Protein backbone atom coordinates (compact mmCIF):
# COMPACT_ATOMS: atom_id res chain seq x y z
CA UNK A 1 0.00 0.00 0.00
CA UNK A 2 1.22 3.50 -0.77
CA UNK A 3 0.47 6.47 1.44
CA UNK A 4 -0.83 9.63 -0.24
CA UNK A 5 0.70 12.87 0.98
CA UNK A 6 -0.88 15.54 -1.26
CA UNK A 7 -1.99 16.14 -4.84
CA UNK A 8 -0.86 18.47 -7.62
CA UNK A 9 -4.25 20.19 -7.71
CA UNK A 10 -4.01 21.02 -4.01
CA UNK A 11 -0.51 22.40 -4.60
CA UNK A 12 -1.59 24.54 -7.57
CA UNK A 13 -4.50 26.05 -5.64
CA UNK A 14 -2.18 27.60 -3.02
CA UNK A 15 -1.40 30.63 -5.21
CA UNK A 16 -4.23 32.50 -6.88
CA UNK A 17 -2.77 36.02 -7.26
CA UNK A 18 -2.97 38.19 -10.37
CA UNK A 19 0.69 37.51 -11.21
CA UNK A 20 0.01 33.78 -11.40
CA UNK A 21 -3.08 34.38 -13.51
CA UNK A 22 -1.08 36.63 -15.84
CA UNK A 23 1.54 33.89 -16.28
CA UNK A 24 4.37 35.85 -14.74
CA UNK A 25 4.81 33.42 -11.85
CA UNK A 26 5.67 29.76 -12.33
CA UNK A 27 5.03 27.18 -9.62
CA UNK A 28 7.32 24.26 -8.93
CA UNK A 29 7.32 21.39 -6.48
CA UNK A 30 10.88 21.40 -5.20
CA UNK A 31 12.62 18.06 -4.80
CA UNK A 32 16.12 17.08 -3.75
CA UNK A 33 18.37 14.46 -5.29
CA UNK A 34 21.91 14.10 -3.95
CA UNK A 35 21.64 17.54 -2.26
CA UNK A 36 20.74 19.26 -5.54
CA UNK A 37 17.42 21.10 -5.66
CA UNK A 38 15.20 20.54 -8.69
CA UNK A 39 11.85 22.01 -9.62
CA UNK A 40 9.03 20.04 -11.20
CA UNK A 41 6.21 22.16 -12.68
CA UNK A 42 3.36 21.87 -10.19
CA UNK A 43 0.79 21.12 -12.89
CA UNK A 44 2.77 17.98 -13.86
CA UNK A 45 2.53 16.59 -10.32
CA UNK A 46 -0.36 14.23 -9.57
CA UNK A 47 0.62 12.96 -6.10
CA UNK A 48 3.41 12.98 -3.56
CA UNK A 49 3.68 9.43 -2.21
CA UNK A 50 5.67 7.43 0.29
CA UNK A 51 5.93 3.95 -1.26
CA UNK A 52 5.98 1.14 1.27
CA UNK A 53 7.06 -1.43 -1.28
CA UNK A 54 8.66 -1.25 -4.72
CA UNK A 55 8.77 -4.50 -6.67
CA UNK A 56 11.87 -4.81 -8.85
CA UNK A 57 11.60 -5.73 -12.53
CA UNK A 58 14.19 -8.17 -13.90
CA UNK A 59 16.10 -6.86 -16.96
CA UNK A 60 14.62 -3.35 -16.63
CA UNK A 61 16.86 -0.35 -17.35
CA UNK A 62 18.91 0.75 -14.30
CA UNK A 63 16.81 3.90 -13.77
CA UNK A 64 13.63 1.83 -13.36
CA UNK A 65 13.48 1.08 -9.63
CA UNK A 66 10.45 -1.15 -10.13
CA UNK A 67 6.67 -1.07 -9.81
CA UNK A 68 4.34 0.00 -7.02
CA UNK A 69 0.62 -0.17 -6.37
CA UNK A 70 -0.99 3.27 -6.08
CA UNK A 71 -4.66 2.90 -5.15
CA UNK A 72 -5.05 -0.15 -7.40
CA UNK A 73 -3.03 1.27 -10.30
CA UNK A 74 0.36 -0.15 -11.23
CA UNK A 75 2.91 2.68 -11.38
CA UNK A 76 6.44 2.50 -12.78
CA UNK A 77 8.99 3.94 -10.36
CA UNK A 78 11.94 5.88 -11.83
CA UNK A 79 15.06 6.54 -9.73
CA UNK A 80 15.77 10.16 -10.69
CA UNK A 81 19.31 10.08 -9.28
CA UNK A 82 20.28 7.18 -11.54
CA UNK A 83 18.38 8.68 -14.49
CA UNK A 84 20.39 11.90 -14.14
CA UNK A 85 23.64 10.03 -13.65
CA UNK A 86 24.27 11.65 -10.26
CA UNK A 87 23.71 8.52 -8.16
CA UNK A 88 25.43 5.23 -8.94
CA UNK A 89 23.48 2.99 -6.54
CA UNK A 90 19.69 2.65 -6.30
CA UNK A 91 17.94 4.80 -3.71
CA UNK A 92 17.42 2.89 -0.48
CA UNK A 93 14.31 3.29 1.71
CA UNK A 94 12.77 5.43 2.98
CA UNK A 95 11.45 6.42 -0.42
CA UNK A 96 9.63 9.52 -1.57
CA UNK A 97 7.90 9.60 -4.93
CA UNK A 98 6.50 12.39 -7.07
CA UNK A 99 3.83 10.84 -9.27
CA UNK A 100 3.32 12.18 -12.79
CA UNK A 101 1.48 11.17 -15.96
CA UNK A 102 3.50 10.71 -19.11
CA UNK A 103 2.31 9.18 -22.35
CA UNK A 104 -0.92 8.02 -20.72
CA UNK A 105 0.98 6.08 -18.05
CA UNK A 106 1.62 6.82 -14.37
CA UNK A 107 5.19 7.12 -13.14
CA UNK A 108 6.55 7.93 -9.71
CA UNK A 109 9.83 9.81 -9.68
CA UNK A 110 11.92 8.55 -6.77
CA UNK A 111 13.71 11.47 -5.07
CA UNK A 112 15.56 11.93 -1.79
CA UNK A 113 13.02 14.40 -0.41
CA UNK A 114 10.31 16.87 -1.36
CA UNK A 115 10.53 20.50 -0.31
CA UNK A 116 8.03 23.31 -0.73
CA UNK A 117 6.00 24.70 -3.59
CA UNK A 118 8.07 27.56 -5.01
CA UNK A 119 6.39 30.52 -6.73
CA UNK A 120 9.08 32.02 -8.97
CA UNK A 121 8.98 34.92 -11.43
CA UNK A 122 9.18 33.69 -15.00
CA UNK A 123 11.57 36.49 -16.00
CA UNK A 124 14.23 35.32 -13.50
CA UNK A 125 14.60 31.92 -15.17
CA UNK A 126 18.11 31.71 -16.62
CA UNK A 127 19.58 29.56 -19.35
CA UNK A 128 21.13 26.24 -18.44
CA UNK A 129 24.90 26.70 -18.00
CA UNK A 130 27.06 24.79 -20.47
CA UNK A 131 29.22 23.64 -17.56
CA UNK A 132 26.37 21.62 -16.05
CA UNK A 133 26.75 17.85 -16.29
CA UNK A 134 25.52 16.81 -19.78
CA UNK A 135 23.04 14.26 -18.36
CA UNK A 136 21.45 16.91 -16.14
CA UNK A 137 21.67 19.69 -18.74
CA UNK A 138 19.81 17.52 -21.27
CA UNK A 139 16.69 17.38 -19.06
CA UNK A 140 16.81 20.89 -17.58
CA UNK A 141 14.69 23.79 -18.90
CA UNK A 142 16.45 26.52 -16.95
CA UNK A 143 17.94 27.60 -13.65
CA UNK A 144 16.75 29.90 -10.87
CA UNK A 145 19.27 31.50 -8.51
CA UNK A 146 17.95 31.22 -4.96
CA UNK A 147 19.44 32.32 -1.65
CA UNK A 148 20.29 28.72 -0.75
CA UNK A 149 21.69 27.73 -4.15
CA UNK A 150 20.33 26.87 -7.56
CA UNK A 151 16.98 25.38 -8.52
CA UNK A 152 17.22 23.37 -11.74
CA UNK A 153 13.87 23.19 -13.56
CA UNK A 154 13.26 19.69 -14.90
CA UNK A 155 11.58 19.04 -18.23
CA UNK A 156 9.32 16.06 -17.63
CA UNK A 157 9.16 15.33 -21.37
CA UNK A 158 12.95 15.10 -21.71
CA UNK A 159 13.39 13.34 -18.36
CA UNK A 160 11.01 10.62 -19.50
CA UNK A 161 12.31 10.21 -23.07
CA UNK A 162 14.06 6.97 -22.17
CA UNK A 163 10.63 5.31 -21.85
CA UNK A 164 9.79 5.74 -25.54
The per-residue pLDDT for range 14-45, each reduced to its tens digit, is 444 545 555 699 999 999 999 999 999 999 99
CATH of 2-159, one of 1.10.1040.20, 3.30.70.3400, 1.10.357.10, 2.40.50.180: 2.40.50.180
Half-sphere exposure of 78 (CA within 13 A, CB side): 20
pLDDT value at 9 more than 70:
no
Q: Which residue has the higher pLDDT, 163 or 33?
A: 33
Q: Which CA distances in Å does 108 have to 2, 46, 95?
A: 11, 9, 11
How many Å apart are CA 66 and CA 78, to the nearest integer? Answer: 7
Whether residue 2 contacts residue 50, with contact meaning beta carbons closer than 8 Å, is answered with: yes
pLDDT value at 13 more than 60:
no
Report pTM: 0.84
Enumerate the domain spans of the chain: 2-159
Which band of pLDDT confidence, cut at 50, 70 and 90, is reported for residue 56?
very high
Which band of pLDDT confidence, cut at 50, 70 and 90, is reported for residue 163?
low
pLDDT at position 92 is 86
Amino acid sequence: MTQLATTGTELANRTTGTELAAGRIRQFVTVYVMNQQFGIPVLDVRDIVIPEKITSIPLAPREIAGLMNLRGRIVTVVDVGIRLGIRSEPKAPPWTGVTIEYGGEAYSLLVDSVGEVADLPEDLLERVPQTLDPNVRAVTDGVYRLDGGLLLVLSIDRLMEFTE
